[in-house]
Structure 1
Amino acid sequence: MSFVEYSDCIKEGDIAIVYVSHENMIPVKVKPGVQTQTKYGVIRHSTDLIGKQYGTKVTCSKGGWVYVLHPTPELWTVTLPHRTQILYTTDIATITMMLELKPGSVVCESGTGSGSLSHAILRSIAPTGHLHTVEFHQQRAEKAAEEFTEHRVGHLVTVRNQDVCKEGFGVSGVADAVFLDIPSPWEAVGHAKTAMKRHGGRVCSFSPCIEQVQKTCEALTDQGFEDISTLEVLLRVHDVKTVSLPTPDFGPTQPTQIQTDEDAKKPPQKQNQPCVTQKTTILPRDMPGHTGYLTFATKPRT
């Protein structure tokens, strides 16, 4: 099992995702003799998981069932233990596309946080790329390094515990792209430029406040970056439901008789009007609000 490669069968030591429902997924480390509790009962790792194929439907002790899924960066994002606020798939997809990440890319990231974006970057740059990620908090840096090794992507990433605003990324002239998710990204723009290759590259900064964006854009301009742009990604989910609508009545096909006074006094006769069913979308009453601004820029070729 690896977060950047797929395996058919579940093995001891794997990280598997137990899918109970769309709102309830549990990451488990598979070990012989260990049990995992779900609302449908117990899953026994030795008999229910080890040796089974990923995607298997597992019956729990109470008779209910769950699916056991292969881990992916998207599933890890919704199940990981939170050490910090994290980026979610909507922003992550935009970041990996706008930074033009591909197999073999070298990326610098700060800060590592809970590793949500890091896993998506690693999948994008595998098998020959490398991620240099910097985390100011020592315990978070150590835990992130431990998780990367456990998820069998440790060979693709170097974790450094240092202040990127003062010490930089620890590399020079190697990065194709740089990502900043720190309180004062404008203080790290110079270090980002130093870490990037001479032939150019892309940089992205994530900030929740527009004042941070303004200072970052000023620093990018001062450092000679071009094509500076800021965008905000908002997710709007439409609910789909089936509705039944009456068929429009366009009147009789034969010429209508002239209505007399006696006819007008008669009560209207009820008719069984045919209906048609169709799918329609309902706008959400509540919509997730602002998460943050994404600022992108390009380093000119030198």
Structure 2
Amino acid sequence: MTTQEPSPIPSIFLHPPPTIRPSPTPVIVHLRRDQLLPLELNPFKTTPNETLNTRFGHFPHKTLLGVQCGSLVKSSLVGNDRKRKRNGEAEDDGAGGDAPSGFIHVLAPTPELWTISLPHRTQVVYTADSSYILHRLRTRPGIHIIEAGAGSGSFTHAAVRGVYNGYPTGIGSKGKVFSYEYHAPRAEKLREEIREHGFEGLVEVTQGDVCKDGFRLQMGRDMRNNAMDGQIQLEEGVEKMGVNGDVCEEDSEESPEATAVFLDLPAPWLAVPHLTRNHQVPTAPLPIPSLDTPVPPTNTGTPSSAIAASPTTTNQTLISKITKSWGPLHPTLPVQICTFSPCIEQIHRTVSVLRKLSWTECEMVEVQHRKLEVRRQRPGGMAGADGAYSNIEEAVRKLKGVVGWRKRPIDETEENVARKGRENNNKRRRDFDEQDKNPIVTTRLEPELKTHTSYLLFATLPPPWSAADEEAARLRVEVEKSKYVVERDSIGVSWKKEKETKKGKYGHPPGTEGDGSETKGLTRKERRKLERAERYKKDKQDQEEGRQNGGIATGEGKNYVSEMMEIE
């Protein structure tokens, strides 16, 4: 019976708090628009009087705690420690008064802010690419996603927020990211960041080469390696087998059962063949060998391939049967994949492998993200296309016009100020104000783009469809058709026979000629045919009467002869 575990404290990446509080998860310090700094306010790692020193001033950590997320924090007047020590004064407590200038903004961390401010260990996937990738992978809360080539963890944070629907508690399916990294130091650093950011249970980091070993989790890979070395305990293998040889729930947890895959690898075509579906139910009972079966030693000089092929290697046979149909993908749902490659040759090789392995809808996309900066400038300004001013005086003049410091005191007490000079000064001021009232809106591209050239390849693995599935679908169609035939026959005879039975000569039901009921239940086309038949019949009667009287009939029926010929 599964017991519900207590939920951990939610990560502030997923549930931003109203105020900044001490936490191992770093907050984001906004210095400039393109300069962000992660700051860890952890009381167990930092000293009480630790201070953040920037070009905009000094900010003691205690002045950042308790403020609302997104607040503006002014710099503090922090004393000179060396001067205090030289004078024998007490040490500065880091809580000086506000400085006359300098400020920062303190923000709650998000995947987008973390992408800009994280320490780069490799090239990162920026927001313009990651947002489009998650959209095309049909990322939604509750699914499992595989990421190969974690690197600095930028895409990992974005994927966690996309699949998050709660922490695992043993009840229901929770979203999870299975991250694989080949480089051991980078994998260990990513595990440390996952713990600090509160993503334990939401991200599982595995160190290994997916192009060679596949997408097995750490437990499954260690189990297989121990079996090759002859060191596995057969009792553990028997516990994982059911009565009829079915794979138990404990062993099925080794498969991520992912419905979305992201490969940021130099050779993704080598990892694609390992992406197979997880079929957990064997078709026949698996034999359980005796626990007394001897296991050949591994230090006898026998090659590992010979040991694996030896009929006496009972434990290896058992493990191969347990994991015979193992795969990292979901057994029934469609799977989406995306590869991140900088060269078009990599795309060609990957597409050829995907098509051979029944992946469909292959499509390559290149994201060209450009950001426009919109500014308002006065006509006649000296600023160039890049928005930079030619000298300091022009920049100061612009700032004074924006802030509103355009009033200049006029010393009217001076007797030597001529009246004409005052008028010229007022005229220049009016011209200055007119220029500020009618600025021009200008735009320019962002000078530095936070991205790098890459090609995104998307493909879909449709649900499995075998000959047995086709036969079952055909039988379902036959059953539905038989139900329809039985239901139709239960109402009466077929439609054609029913129509012939109800209608008599010229479409009149028997015994109802001329009473108006013959047109009930007929379509418009059938009623028109009936009317034409009646008029044709009347015209024939008139012609017959005319011949008997020795004259020519002048009835209206002759106009319908051609119509009745068409009907006949």
AA in 1 matched with 2:31: V
Q: Distance in 2 between matches of 1:284 and 1:86?
A: 19
2:59 to 18, 43, 47: 43
Deviation, 1:285, is 7.5
Stretches of structure 1 that go unaligned for 5 or more consecutive residues are 246-273
Percent of paired sites with the same residue: 38
1:77 to 104, 115, 128: 115
Residue 61 of structure 1 pairs with residue 72 of structure 2: no
Residue of structure 2 in register with 1:144 after alignment: 190
AA in 2 matched with 1:176: T
Q: Deviations over 1:192-234 (max 9, x none)?
A: 3442213211000000000111111111101100110001001
AA in 1 matched with 2:76: S
AA in 2 matched with 1:298: T
Residue of structure 1 in register with 2:135 after alignment: 97
Q: Deviations over 1:40-70 (max 9, x none)?
A: 222211x212222211211112631111000
Q: Distance in 1 between matches of 2:445 and 2:360?
A: 38
1:196 to 326, 329, 348: 329
TM-score between both structures, scaled by the size of structure 2: 0.46
238 and 99 in structure 1: CA distance in 2 versus 1, 3 angstrom threshold:
same
AA in 1 matched with 2:443: T
**Aligned pairs for 1:125-274 within 5 A:** 125-127=163-165, 128-170=174-216, 171-172=254-255, 174-193=257-276, 194-197=327-330, 198-242=332-376
AA in 2 matched with 1:297: A
Q: Deviations over 1:168-191 (max 9, x none)?
A: 221546101000001100000122
> Which stretch shifts more, 192-201 or 224-233?
192-201
AA in 2 matched with 1:87: V
CA contact (8 A) 1:234 1:289 kept: no
220 and 146 in structure 1: CA distance in 2 versus 1, 3 angstrom threshold:
same
> Which stretch shifts more, 28-37 or 234-243?
234-243
1:294 to 456, 469, 487: 456
Q: Deviations over 1:14-63 (max 9, x none)?
A: 41101111122110110341221111222211x21222221121111263
Q: Distance in 2 between matches of 1:196 and 1:116?
A: 23
CA contact (8 A) 2:178 2:256 kept: no
Q: Distance in 1 between matches of 2:261 and 2:114?
A: 22
Q: Deviations over 1:54-89 (max 9, x none)?
A: 112111126311110000000000000111111101
CA contact (8 A) 2:112 2:127 kept: yes
Answer with 1 or 2: which has the greater Rg: 2
284 and 222 in structure 1: CA distance in 2 versus 1, 3 angstrom threshold:
same
CA contact (8 A) 2:126 2:450 kept: no
Deviation, 1:277, is 4.7
AA in 1 matched with 2:328: A
191 and 5 in structure 1: CA distance in 2 versus 1, 3 angstrom threshold:
farther
Residue of structure 1 in register with 2:30 after alignment: 19
Stretches of structure 2 that go unaligned for 5 or more consecutive residues are 1-10, 78-98, 166-173, 217-253, 277-326, 380-433, 465-568
Residue of structure 1 in register with 2:281 after alignment: none
Which has the larger share of strand? Answer: 1
Higher relative contact order (CA 8 A, sep 6+): 1
AA in 1 matched with 2:119: P
285 and 141 in structure 1: CA distance in 2 versus 1, 3 angstrom threshold:
closer
Q: Distance in 1 between matches of 2:56 and 2:377?
A: 33
> Which stretch shifts more, 231-240 or 134-143?
231-240
Residue of structure 1 in register with 2:161 after alignment: 123
Deviation, 1:242, is 3.2
Residue 9 of structure 1 pairs with residue 19 of structure 2: yes
Q: Distance in 2 between matches of 1:277 and 1:18?
A: 33
Q: Distance in 1 between matches of 2:151 and 2:452?
A: 20
AA in 1 matched with 2:33: H
AA in 2 matched with 1:80: L
